[in-house]
Each structure stands twice: as C-alpha cells, then as structure tokens.
Amino acid sequence: MVGESGLRKALNYFFVILALIIFVFPIYWLVNQSFKGAAEFTAMPPTLIVNDPTGENYHSLWVEQEFWRYGINSLIIAVVAAVTAVTVGSSAAYALARFRLPRNFNYHVLFTVLTVRMFPPIVTLIPIFAWYSRLDLIDHRLPLAILHAFSEVPLVTWMMIGFFREIPRDMEEAAQVDGDSKLAVLYKIAIPLARPGLAATFVLVFISSWNEFLYASILTRSVDSMTLPKLVSSQIGQVDIKTGNLMAAGVLTTIPVLILALVAQRHLTRGLTVGGVTG
C-alpha cells in the first residue's frame, strides 16, 4: 500500500510538471524570441536561450511604430466595451431573474440572446460595414467599442443571471418594505452581492475586446483608431515577416491583460465558478 501510494504521488507530480511545461514553455519561448536579433532567428537548431539579447524589437515597436498609440486605442475601446456590456447585460439579467414574464417568455428571451451569440461575426460584418459607412462611423473608436460591447451582452446576461438568482429575494423584499424602490434595491443590494460576477464578466469582455481583430481590421484605418491586433498583423508583410517584432508585440499586448487578471483574480475565480454552475 505504501509503495502504491508513493507511485501515485510520483505520477501526480509527473503530470503536474508535464502540464506546467506544456503551458509555461510557449510563454517562455515568446519572451525568449522577443529578445533575439534578426541573425539569431536563422540559427539551426533554434537557441533555447538567447545568445546575444537585444532590445531592438521593442524599440522598433514602441518608438518607430508608435506601439503606445495603438495601445491607448485598444485600452479605451476595451474599457468602454466592458463597462457598456456589463451595464446593459447585468440590467437585462436582473430583470430576467426577478420578473417572470407571461407564457414562459423569459426562456424565449434567453434563448434568443444565446442564438445571437452563436452567429459568427463574419456573418454580420458586411451589413455592419454598410451601416457604419452610411453613418460615417468608420475609423472612430467609440462606434467600434459599442459594437464590441453589444457583441458581448449575451455573455454577460447568461453569466450574471446565475448570480442574481442566487441572491435571496427576502433581502430585496425587506429593503422594499423599508421604502426603497426596485432601482435602489438593485444598486444597494443586488449589485454589491453580485460583485464577483461583475468582475469576472468585466475581465472576460475586456479581454475579448482587447483581442478582437475582425471588426477592427475592417472598421479602422488610421493610427487614431487602429487597435493592437491590427498592428501585430501588420508585422507580417508580403515579402518578409518581422518575427522579432511579432514576439515583442505578443509580450507587450499580454502584460495589461495579465495585470488585470491578477488584480481581479479573487473575484474572477469565484465569478466563473458560480456563474458557470448556476447560470
């Protein structure tokens, strides 16, 4: 029994280490490649450790291509999209969780929302482009942020409805007896208690908007509105591929999302767990 227990423990450690290698190695390789010069990329076999580290890839991105301007655009668009999607989606989720519509209409609304979420973005791209062109909304940050937001409203609605259903109705009814309106109950009781879900959905929408490429590639044209994914894709040209710049861009674009996830880690873990189980 002792030998069997020791073998099982050894297997557990082996699979944990194997999983860490599988997940951590691509990150290490990304950072490692970002410090390589152009000559070292052609070395065979590839070097696992940089022989001659250089910061020219980061300098090319940050200074020559003004990486920071694209980063500001992405940050503004992602924040506006996340705030808008969480506000609209949470309001819809609370209404569906607390008010029972006739003829089981709650289910039909949720199913319709889910159906919209299933549509591939490429299906709606052409009519959206035509509409944005007619209204002169091409190459503006705010219209792109609103588009990102309403693309994620179904996700927020489905996640948040589980949190609002988990909140006891007795607490809200007691507040209404004390004279609070339904809107006051929402902001004083429901939203504070659903804070983990709000944090989780905010992070998910932020990441989705931060990484979105299809809409940004069609609806933005100038440096004043283009986002980071479009800058990253521009490193792949018809003649050559700026591999070092691609790796450096991957590192730089990951840092803000990583910081946000670490800050909201406590809420994010509980939010994804509860929302996924009860939603």
DSSP per-residue string spanning 115-131: HHHHS-HHHHHHHHHHH
Domain ranges of the chain: 66-278
pLDDT > 70? residue 155: yes
* Upstream peptide bond of 229 is cis (omega within 30 degrees of 0): no
> Which residues are registered as beta bridge partners of 241?
236
Q: What was the pLDDT predicted at 273? A: 56
Quote the pLDDT of residue 179.
Answer: 76
* pLDDT at 144 > cutoff 90: yes
Q: Which CATH number fits domain 66-278: 3.30.300.30, 1.10.3720.10, 3.40.50.2000, 1.10.10.60?
A: 1.10.3720.10
The token pair at 148 is 């990102």
pTM of the model: 0.84
Q: Look up residue 220 and give its two tokens.
A: 């933005």
Q: Work out the pLDDT band at 216, boundaries 50, 70, 90.
A: very high
pLDDT at 269 over 90: no
Q: Would you say 94 and 186 are in contact if contact means Cβ atoms under 8 Å apart?
A: yes
Sign of CA dihedral 242, 243, 247, 248: negative
pLDDT tier at 145, thresholds 50, 70, 90: very high
Residue type, 208: S
Average pLDDT, the chain: 84
**Structure confidence at residue 1 as a pLDDT band (50, 70, 90):** very low
